Amino acid sequence: MAAGSWRTGAGLGDANIAVARRTIAAALNASAKNRELLGHPVMQSILAQDDLLGPLLGELGVSFGQLTIGTGKMSATAEGTDVALTNYSLANSTTITPARHAFARAASDFGRALQEPLLTGELAPDAYAMVIHEAMMVWANTLVDKIVALFPSLTNTIGTTNTALSWSAIQDGIIDHKDRGNRGPVLGIIDSVGAKALMSDMLSMGGAVQWAPQAQGAIQNATAGAYLGRFWEADFYMSGELDDDGTDTSGALLSVGCIATKHARVPLPAEAMEIADGYWFTVEGRRTAGSETRFDIVSHLAAQIREDGRGSELLYKMT
């Protein structure tokens, strides 16, 4: 920058502005993987079922019962003889009780750090749009966290304690999954350690597995984000939200109906300044007593295993 007509022979000196323009863009973060999960048919089905249950009109939660039908066989019976009645059996009654979850931003942070003229990149050029966009992301993180919390309590397990995830372990698990009567879309969720172990094992298999189109797809898909590939017709994704017990990590293989969620729609009162109703969440502009205005992102939700046999825990060595 030219000094101009300054009354100094030493240039601008301390009056210089070291950095003139500052641009702010949304930072890369690993929770982007959570949003990718939402597009999978199994997750879409969870949300569709959630929605189909309708609003909670005064109830605290919802309950699922699994009715066993279609397992019996007819017995040979002489004409004119009564057949013993078979009672309906309702098993696995499950209750889901949504709880309030919230995340807040202070409006002053926007004035300080994210003034509109400075915004570039992926951020929306408007602070309100940005907070609504963030609300969707925060809700997705919360939803995924609630779902993965249930993985360690899935009864069926694929893999063994303190050992790396292997192709043949999942192969056996898929057969068991089919053997329980499952069909339809399958979502596999593992972390990067599990993914590396699986890929490494796959590459060592040779022949039929190593050269399968799915294996080639997995090798080449650096651009596919969290999606690893489709093996055994199950879509595998990476997640950074999985829990471990210090030795083993718990991922999962899920079919439609394994996990249920329930959101409670809690409309804001008339006096509230509603910034957005995102259906699964709301964003409210609030002024707390004597404080700055804040944005509250709120969602009432819960997750529960609906039918255990429709999923399996993917268990493997954590490191």
Partner 1 sequence: MATRASTRTDDAPEGAASLSRPRLAQSAAGPSLGSTPMRLRESRGPWTWMISAARLGCRNGVIVPRAVPAWHAPGVSANVRGDNGAGYVGDLKRQHYVEIPHDRLPCVAFGESRAGAAHSVYLERHEGVSIGGARVFRWTSAWTRYARLGHMTYPEYDHAGQDLFLHQALLDLCTPDGKLSPVQITLATRPLIKRIEAEASREGPHARALIAQMAAQLPAEHVPDSVHAILRRLEIELTTDTDK
Q: Under the criterion CB under 8 A, does residue 157 sit at the interface with partner 1?
A: yes
Q: What minimum distance in Å lies between the beta carbon of 270 and partner 1?
A: 26
Residues 275-304 that bind partner 1 (CB under 8 A): 301-304
The verdict on 243 binding partner 1 (CB under 8 A) reads: yes
Per CB under 8 A, does 168 bind partner 1? Answer: yes
> Burial level of 266, CB count in 10 A (0-12/13-18/19+)?
middle
| φ/ψ (deg, to 5) at 318 | -70, -35
Looking at the Cβ atoms of 235 and 314, the one nearer to partner 1 is 314
List the one residue from 86, 161, 216, 220 that touches partner 1 (CB under 8 A): 161
- Is the distance from CB of 178 to CB of 301 less than 8 angstroms? no
Instruction: Give the span between the Cα atoms of 286 and 291, in whole angstroms.
Output: 10
The helices-and-strands tally (H runs, E runs) of the chain is: 8, 14
| Binding flags for partner 1, 58-97, as an x/- string (CB under 8 A) | --xx--------------------------------xxxx
Site for partner 1 in 111-150 (CB under 8 A): 145-146, 149-150
Query: Does the protein bind partner 1 through residue 233 (CB under 8 A)?
Result: no
- DSSP classification of residue 143: H
Using rule CB under 8 A, residue 312 touches partner 1: no
Beta strands at 311-317 and 248-255: parallel, antiparallel or unpaired: antiparallel
Tell me which of 253, 305, 311, 314 binds partner 1, using CB under 8 A: 305
Q: In angstroms, what CA-CA distances link 206 with 57, 150, 202, 209, 271? A: 57, 35, 8, 6, 66
Q: Is the dihedral of CA 109, 113, 114, 117 positive or negative?
A: positive
Write down the least CB distance from residue 74 to partner 1, Å: 33
Binding residues for partner 1 (CB under 8 A): 14, 60-61, 94-101, 145-146, 149-150, 152-153, 155, 157, 160-164, 166, 168-169, 172, 200-201, 204-206, 243, 245-247, 301-305, 315, 317
